[in-house]
Chains A and B, each alone.
Chain A
Amino acid sequence: MGLKKALLAGVAGLAMTASAQAQYSNDGITIGVLTDMSGVYADVGGQGSVVAAQMALEDFGDFNGKPVNLVSADHQNKADIGANIARQWADTDGVDAIFDILNSAVGLAVQQVATEKNIVSMNSGAATTALTNEQCSPNGVHYVYDTYALATGTGGAMVKEGGDSWFFIVADYAFGHALEADTSNAVKNAGGEILGSVRAPLSNQDFSSFLLQAQASGAKVIGLANAGGDTVNSIKQAQEFGIVAAGQSLAGLLIFLTDIHALGLETTAGLTITTGWYWDLNDETRAFSERFAERHNGVKPTMVQAGVYSSVMNYLKAAQDAGTDDGKKVVDQLQTMEINDVFAQGGKIREDGLHFHDMYLAQIKSPEESKGPWDYYNIVSTIPAAEAYQALEDVRCPTLNN
């Protein structure tokens, strides 16, 4: 057999294997972790999300006999950069699904690109309900939490405990406004009243002025409709100005494990929060977190990072069962599955793309209760999915109504 023939045979053989797997474009699956690697949310997702995705790939093993490729990038919290990366990934790198996507503005932009390119956007980090409402998509899944769930969880619980008058300190951009609106509704529905609010510029260092205004309002609860560094600074300074000691309570509406770590328990003890997941829920979550910490400087995973692990696993299962990497078909397949893993029990992906799963109401431990670093939450109660999330009838998703 001459060289030419051998080459031809080789090409023919390759062509045959290629046609045998034609339903997976680019010969297999590639996933992308798009996150904030260096900004205010980098500790919530960031490199930890990449670690979580790697763990999922190892646990899943080969996909139809081939390893799954993983790419990652930093969207710098800018919607245009995030959308460009997503587009490039879809066009030239053969990425089939994008994960994490912390930051609501980036999340909305990337979900749009995913729809255009018919890949999947599995959102763990962004909070806005617009992802499953006005801007919902047959290619999008909203996995860990949304502003509605955070607001009803914490808002409802605080009113029940007697915190029936509220004053908000709001981060002055879309996310803060949405969180304020959702929480106001939750508080009013539970029988509470809103005394006022003040809008603070984003990335503010000093919250004492706003805190004094909240104090002067006489409200029983000061709702912090902000996130990341802004929340950390407001809580730290509220403690310093003796606001909690004087009888007002703080409600942190979006608080991550890493925020508590940064603040220390002396400052945060007693705070009520809503979370989608906690590392110390059961043996399975503890074992997972142990493995994660070994690879990530001893840091326990946040709910976003655990969400990335679970969403990667379930995406791969769905793509395998559907026998395709066609974005819409994989999401359709996901909607038929029940999610039972380290992240959620009995979770369901609804028609609007929301991962409908139980949430948890937690209270931050006092320094005496805590057994050491990362032992921070007392899980007070489980909030059933039906109470935590918007009912499907109320969802304002245009594609659902046809």
Chain B
Amino acid sequence: MIEFLGVPLPLFMGQLLIGLINGSFYAVLSLGLALIFGLLNIVNFAHGALYMVGAFVAYLLLQFIGIGYWPALILAPVIVAGLGMLIERFLLRPLHDLDHLYGLLLTFGLALVLEGTFRHFYGVSGMPYSIPDSLAGAQRLMVPTWLTGEDPVFMMALPNYRAWVIVASLIVCTATWILIERTKLGALMRAATEKPDLVRAFGVNVPALITLTYGLGVGLAAFAGVLAAPIYSVNPIMGSNIIIVVFAIVVIGGLGSIGGAIVSGFLLGVIEGITKVFYPEASNVVIFVVMAIVLIVRPAGLFGKGA
């Protein structure tokens, strides 16, 4: 069997693909985080908790109203975005003129409250949530002949759901990027943070725009939560496991850079996947090593515009 750096090629290719899948979650989460930081200057520590709430809303919708995965994929982010807008309007806005540290502390506390509440009612073991029937099953992937010159070799079973995760996350990331960078609304959002007075002079409701932006960022977190529900266990601490990594990815991509967050999300997922083959013990630190290197070489991040 053909090997690559001492590892069988099918195994290596499989790991690359898995890295890309994990990267999809990182991309959607870091995109929301970067959006909130870039446009609102809030370090949103509640992001992981809201990702968890997204997964739980999907679970509760199914459990109590019988609403399945596909409607939940739209409904849960909308519900959580609504919650986010309430948080912005009544909790974050009063802190708007204060030091950023206050927003950070508030959202951190909020994350603890949300996690504690769900832990009280649902324990920590997690809730079952099944993969929708339409995406059940898996594809047998082969290593293509042109790569090895041999007959196709079995590479891995790619679950249909995981393939969907990559597609869904690419669609959402692209759509969000277009919304922010290429539409009138996106231009207004960006303008409202750069020169709020001027934008207000044109008759635009700036506070409403800010609330909307926060809602959008939080909705993305909830979307990632619903995507994650069928494959990771839906439990109250699922967000705190992932949020630190996502923060590192936003820093690597360049604080506030929308495109940077997306690209480095996928990139870091792949780097992490490769580490799991060659030195699995280091897989939970590799992202932070990359972060340290990036901060030394390019302090503004890979795609940052400079401080």
Residue of B nearest to A243 (CB): B157
B277 lies within 8 A of A209 (CB): yes
A42 in the interface (beta carbon within 8 A): yes
Residues on A lying within 8 angstroms of B by beta carbon are 38-43, 46, 172, 198-201, 203-206, 208-210, 212-213, 215-216, 228-229, 232-233, 236-237, 240-243, 246, 258-259, 261-264, 266-267
B125 lies within 8 A of A210 (CB): no
7 additional contacts (CB under 8 A) given A201-B283, A215-B156, A228-B125: A42-B124, A201-B281, A210-B280, A212-B14, A240-B131, A240-B138, A241-B156
Contacting residues of chain B (229-265) with chain A, CB-CB under 8 angstroms: 231-233, 235, 237-238, 241-242
Question: With the chains together, A46 CA to B130 CA distance in Å?
Answer: 27
B157 lies within 8 A of A229 (CB): no
Question: With the chains together, A241 CA to B284 CA distance in Å?
Answer: 22
Q: A38-B119, A212-B15, A241-B156 are in contact. Are A233 and B232 (CB under 8 A)?
A: yes
Contacting residues of chain B (37-86) with chain A, CB-CB under 8 angstroms: none
B161 in the interface (beta carbon within 8 A): yes
Residues on B lying within 8 angstroms of A by beta carbon are 8, 10-11, 14-15, 18-19, 21-22, 116, 119, 123-128, 130-131, 138, 156-157, 159, 161-162, 231-233, 235, 237-238, 241-242, 273, 276-277, 280-281, 283-284
Interface hub of A38, A208, A229 (most chain B Cβ within 10 A): A208
User: Which residues on the B side are within 8 Å of A39 (C-beta)?
Assistant: 124
User: Which residues on the A side are within 8 Å of B10 (C-beta)?
Assistant: 216
User: Which residues on the B side are within 8 Å of A232 (C-beta)?
Assistant: 125-126, 233
Q: Determine how close the nearest CB of chain A comes to the CB of B130; give it in whole angstroms.
A: 7
User: Which residues on the B side are within 8 Å of A246 (C-beta)?
Assistant: 157
User: Which residues on the A side are within 8 Å of B21 (C-beta)?
Assistant: 208
Residue of B nearest to A246 (CB): B157
B241 lies within 8 A of A203 (CB): yes
User: Which residues on the A side are within 8 Å of B283 (C-beta)?
Assistant: 200-201, 209
Q: A205-B238, A212-B15, A262-B127 are in contact. Are A241 and B157 (CB under 8 A)?
A: yes
User: Which residues on the B side are within 8 Å of A233 (C-beta)?
Assistant: 232-233
Q: Determine how close the nearest CB of chain A comes to the CB of B136; give it in whole angstroms.
A: 9
Question: With the chains together, A270 CA to B138 CA distance in Å?
Answer: 21
B125 lies within 8 A of A262 (CB): yes
Question: With the chains together, A264 CA to B235 CA distance in Å?
Answer: 14
B125 lies within 8 A of A43 (CB): yes
Question: With the chains together, A41 CA to B235 CA distance in Å?
Answer: 13
Q: Determine how close the nearest CB of chain B comes to the CB of A377; give it in whole angstroms.
A: 17
Q: A212-B11, A216-B11 are in contact. Are A206 and B123 (CB under 8 A)?
A: no
A40 lies within 8 A of B124 (CB): yes
Residue of B nearest to A197 (CB): B280
B138 lies within 8 A of A241 (CB): yes
Residue of B nearest to A216 (CB): B11
A-B contact pairs, 22 of them (CB 8 A): A38-B124, A39-B124, A43-B123, A198-B280, A199-B280, A201-B283, A201-B284, A203-B241, A205-B241, A209-B276, A212-B11, A212-B15, A229-B237, A236-B231, A236-B232, A236-B233, A261-B125, A262-B128, A262-B233, A263-B128, A264-B130, A267-B128
B284 lies within 8 A of A259 (CB): no
A212 lies within 8 A of B156 (CB): yes
B131 lies within 8 A of A209 (CB): no
User: Which residues on the B side are within 8 Å of A204 (C-beta)?
Assistant: 284
A242 lies within 8 A of B157 (CB): yes
A208 lies within 8 A of B18 (CB): yes
Residue of A nearest to B131 (CB): A240
User: Which residues on the B side are within 8 Å of A237 (C-beta)?
Assistant: 231
User: Which residues on the A side are within 8 Å of B15 (C-beta)?
Assistant: 209, 212
User: Which residues on the B side are within 8 Å of A229 (C-beta)?
Assistant: 124-126, 233, 235, 237
Q: Determine how close the nearest CB of chain A comes to the CB of B47; give it in whole angstroms.
A: 16
Residue of A nearest to B121 (CB): A297
User: Which residues on the B side are within 8 Å of A261 (C-beta)?
Assistant: 125
Q: Determine how close the nearest CB of chain B comes to the CB of A58; give it in whole angstroms.
A: 24
User: Which residues on the A side are within 8 Å of B235 (C-beta)?
Assistant: 229, 262
Residue of A nearest to B276 (CB): A209
Residue of B nearest to A236 (CB): B233
A264 lies within 8 A of B276 (CB): no
Residue of A nearest to B8 (CB): A216
Interface hub of B10, B128, B280 (most chain A Cβ within 10 A): B280
Residue of B nearest to A215 (CB): B156
Q: Determine how close the nearest CB of chain B comes to the CB of A265; give it in whole angstroms.
A: 9
Q: Determine how close the nearest CB of chain A comes to the CB of B271; give it in whole angstroms.
A: 12
Question: With the chains together, A216 CA to B9 CA distance in Å?
Answer: 11
User: Which residues on the B side are within 8 Å of A172 (C-beta)?
Assistant: 281
Q: Determine how close the nearest CB of chain B comes to the CB of A273; give it in whole angstroms.
A: 16
User: Which residues on the A side are within 8 Å of B231 (C-beta)?
Assistant: 236-237, 240
Question: With the chains together, A38 CA to B125 CA distance in Å?
Answer: 11
Q: Determine how close the nearest CB of chain A comes to the CB of B120; give it in whole angstroms.
A: 9
Residue of B nearest to A265 (CB): B128
Residue of A nearest to B283 (CB): A201
| A200, A205, A241, A259: the one within 8 Å of B280 (CB) | A200
Residue of A nearest to B119 (CB): A38
A240 lies within 8 A of B161 (CB): yes
User: Which residues on the A side are within 8 Å of B127 (C-beta)?
Assistant: 262
A259 lies within 8 A of B125 (CB): yes
Question: With the chains together, A246 CA to B138 CA distance in Å?
Answer: 12
A266 lies within 8 A of B159 (CB): no
Question: With the chains together, A264 CA to B241 CA distance in Å?
Answer: 23
Question: With the chains together, A39 CA to B123 CA distance in Å?
Answer: 9
Question: With the chains together, A368 CA to B188 CA distance in Å?
Answer: 57
User: Which residues on the B side are within 8 Å of A267 (C-beta)?
Assistant: 128
A43 lies within 8 A of B124 (CB): yes
Rank and list the top 9 A-B pairs by shortest CB-CB distance, nearest first.
Answer: A209-B276, A264-B128, A201-B284, A262-B125, A242-B157, A43-B125, A43-B123, A262-B126, A216-B11
User: Which residues on the A side are within 8 Å of B238 (C-beta)?
Assistant: 205
Question: With the chains together, A142 CA to B62 CA distance in Å?
Answer: 42
User: Which residues on the A side are within 8 Å of B123 (C-beta)?
Assistant: 42-43, 46, 258
Residue of B nearest to A264 (CB): B128
Residue of A nearest to B236 (CB): A38
Question: With the chains together, A38 CA to B122 CA distance in Å?
Answer: 11
Question: With the chains together, A241 CA to B159 CA distance in Å?
Answer: 6
Interface hub of A212, A228, A232 (most chain B Cβ within 10 A): A212
Residue of B nearest to A241 (CB): B157
Question: With the chains together, A233 CA to B22 CA distance in Å?
Answer: 14
